[in-house]
A and B are shown apart, each in its own frame.
Chain A
């Protein structure tokens, strides 16, 4: 597994792993562009959350990262995208697939084989991996996503949540440089979602895979990210560290789902009670509140 992947990883470590400049894109038959002048830089190894109101262009942007835009969707594209050292416009979806794995929003769009195992192995077969390595990577991916016991089942018979795990397994099996996940846990319950986020976080921390996670449920996901990008009406409107983005007034105005812990902080601040820093999860909030409550008590 290492051999094949190292060869394909001819990426200059100092380069940003994804860079877009002035990306503007209109779907065929569309009247308005879905992306407008999107310029952003994602560094290698980052865990990025991409969020914003529904219909704001998040999914379209993801499709630019693996070449579905413009190679599959055609339409009108201006500007440039570079991913893992490749100019997306000049390389086929097949070439890009080795470097960028995309987990679709609706898992049914992605799964087609007669068994879970075959679905997970499909991408690896296309990479021409030796049988033994393939088996090892499939096993690993099934273990990581907690679906080893479903390996013989037909994907279309599984629940939405189970299908999402299969879709994720089939992408992580390829250990790509970049994983783009479009609301990968929308059908999962919070515990199931947390488990998936932990799997993704592990892949990010241990294997250095750059993660781009499209997500509305920031309550659950924000603690894993070190970079947040907010889009609205096809444009990037906020781009920075999670704390800076979540505490910005703009984030509230365009309707980003700020974690409740942060909302409580904001509500208290409006009433003149200041916590020492901005909490993004409940644990942090409890600790910060304990400080305030103790201080004022003593």
Chain B
């Protein structure tokens, strides 16, 4: 579905943000791209809907080279939710904001109404329908941005730092919601620093360092691989840290989930007694 082939990208200020990245994202994949600030994560995903075009190499989306397609056309299939919602919001009410892209894509008014309704309910924004997005808190604006992208039902949803400004409950909703989208066959790509969120979502994880991919695999493997974590300067999830501290007891070290951790500890205690 998305194929990144040996992509290099240099910004106009001569910063080389991508240095030979190759990555395949298949239909229905759920991928988290992780790495430090400045590792090139956002630069990479901006290539997926053609916002950026490679300086060298190529990005193929649904068989089409992004250099030969307009962003408008690519966006219809690949929706992008920005890190900073203020980069994306500008309408006077939440409702208009969510409807805006739908109008642009030329949907019928009746369809627009249903889609807006659906997206606003889905993200718990019903009471803000007539409110200006700029009156809302940072976390709420983020949800408006997400609603406005989901409304047009793209095949691929890219979320750049979706958990910023979200409280625990919202994160839990977001997680269920991402899993739901993914179960329905949507391809989901998240860019995030939030290692605990990734530990709970359990996607395929791609680590980036200085414009390159340095490792990838299942969350459980990658987020407990000390060497790789150190190389990508990522703090392991708390549960993984706790189990690193229990290595002497012969317990498994590839644990990132609270409930799995509990089961393992209970089994261990059971066996001893």
* A residues neighboring B (CB under 8 Å): 27, 29-30, 51-56, 59, 105-106, 108, 157, 159-162, 183, 186-194, 216-217, 219, 254-261, 263-264, 267-268, 271, 273, 281-283, 285-287, 289-290, 292-293, 296-297
CA distance A217 to B109 in the complex (A): 41
Residue contact A55 to B140, C-beta cutoff 8 Å: yes
What residue in chain A is nearest B86 (Cβ atoms)? A106
List chain B residues, Cβ under 8 A from A289.
Answer: 242, 245-246, 265
Which of B38, B165, B273 interacts with A54 by CB under 8 Å? B165
Closest chain A CB from B271 CB (angstroms): 10
Chain A residue nearest to B142 (CB atoms) is: A54
Closest beta carbon of chain A to B77's beta carbon, Å: 27
Chain B residues with Cβ under 8 A from A268's Cβ?
A: 262, 265-266
In the A-B complex, list the 4 residue pairs whose CB atoms are closest, starting with the nearest: A54-B139, A286-B245, A255-B169, A282-B241
What CA separation (Å) do A30 and B127 show in the bound complex? 12
Q: Which of B83, B244, B269 is within 8 Å of A160, CB to CB?
A: B83
Contact with A along B159-190 (1 / 0, CB 8 A): 00100111111111000000000000000000
Q: Whole-angstrom distance from the CB of A236 to the nearest CB of chain B? A: 16
Interface pair B238/A219, CB less than 8 Å apart: yes
Q: How far is the CA of A29 from the CA of B12 in the complex (A)?
A: 43
Q: What is the minimal beta-carbon distance from A265 to any residue of chain B, in angstroms?
A: 10
Cα A217 to Cα B171 in complex, Å, equals 11
Alpha-carbon distance between A183 and B138 when the two chains are bound, in angstroms: 10
Asked if B36 is at the interface of the complex by the 8 Å CB criterion, the answer is yes
Question: Residue A264 contacts which of B38, B196, B234, B239 (CB distance < 8 angstroms)?
Answer: B239
Q: Which of B83, B164, B193, B237 has the most CB of A within 10 A?
A: B193
Bound-state CA distance A250–B260 (Å) is: 24
Contact A296–B164 (Cβ < 8 Å): no
Within 8 A of A (CB), among B229-255: 233-235, 237-239, 241-242, 244-246, 248-249
Residues of A within 8 A of B13 (CB): 157
Given contacts A161-B37, A189-B193, contact A53 B140 (CB under 8 A): no
Chosen A-B contacts, 23 in total, with CB atoms closer than 8 Å, are A51-B167, A53-B170, A54-B138, A108-B84, A159-B38, A161-B38, A162-B37, A186-B165, A188-B37, A189-B193, A193-B193, A216-B168, A216-B171, A261-B242, A268-B266, A286-B244, A289-B246, A289-B265, A290-B246, A293-B249, A296-B272, A296-B273, A297-B272
A residues in contact with B261, CB < 8 Å: 264, 267
| Complex contacts, B172 vs chain A, CB 8 Å | 255
Residues B246 and A286 in contact, CB atoms below 8 Å apart? yes
Task: List 14 other contacts, CB 8 Å, given A161-B38, A254-B169, A255-B169.
Answer: A51-B167, A53-B170, A183-B165, A187-B83, A191-B233, A191-B234, A257-B168, A261-B238, A264-B258, A273-B269, A289-B242, A290-B248, A293-B268, A296-B272
Q: Given the known A-B contacts A157-B13, A194-B235, A264-B258, are A273 and B266 also in contact in the complex, defined by CB atoms under 8 Å?
A: yes
Q: Which residue of A lies closest to B269 (CB)?
A: A296
Alpha-carbon distance between A224 and B250 when the two chains are bound, in angstroms: 32
A30 → chain B, closest Cβ, in Å? 7
**Inter-subunit contact A159/B37 (CB<8 Å):** yes
- Flag if B170 contacts A54 (CB, 8 Å): yes
Cα-based distance from A216 to B197 in the complex (angstroms): 12
Q: Do the beta carbons of A216 and B242 come within 8 Å of each other?
A: no
- Contact (Cβ within 8 A) A105 B165: yes
In the complex, chain B residues whose CB is within 8 Å of the CB of A105: 138, 165
B135 touches A27 (CB 8 A): yes
Q: Give the CA-CA distance A192 to B193 in the complex, in Å.
A: 10
| Minimum Cβ distance to chain B for residue A237 (Å) | 13
CB within 8 Å for A287 and B235 given contacts A190-B193, A192-B36, A257-B167: no
Residues from chain B with Cβ under 8 Å of A55 in the complex: 136-137, 139-140
Report A220 CB to chain B, min CB distance, Å.
Answer: 8
Are B237 and A187 in touch, CB under 8 angstroms? no
List B207-246 residues whose CB lies under 8 Å from chain A: 233-235, 237-239, 241-242, 244-246
CB under 8 Å from chain A, chain B span 85-102: 86
B51 beta carbon closer than 8 Å to chain A: no
For B239, give its contact among A193, A255, A258, A260 (CB under 8 Å): A260
CB-CB under 8 A from A159, the residues of chain B are 37-38
* B71 touches A (CB below 8 Å): no
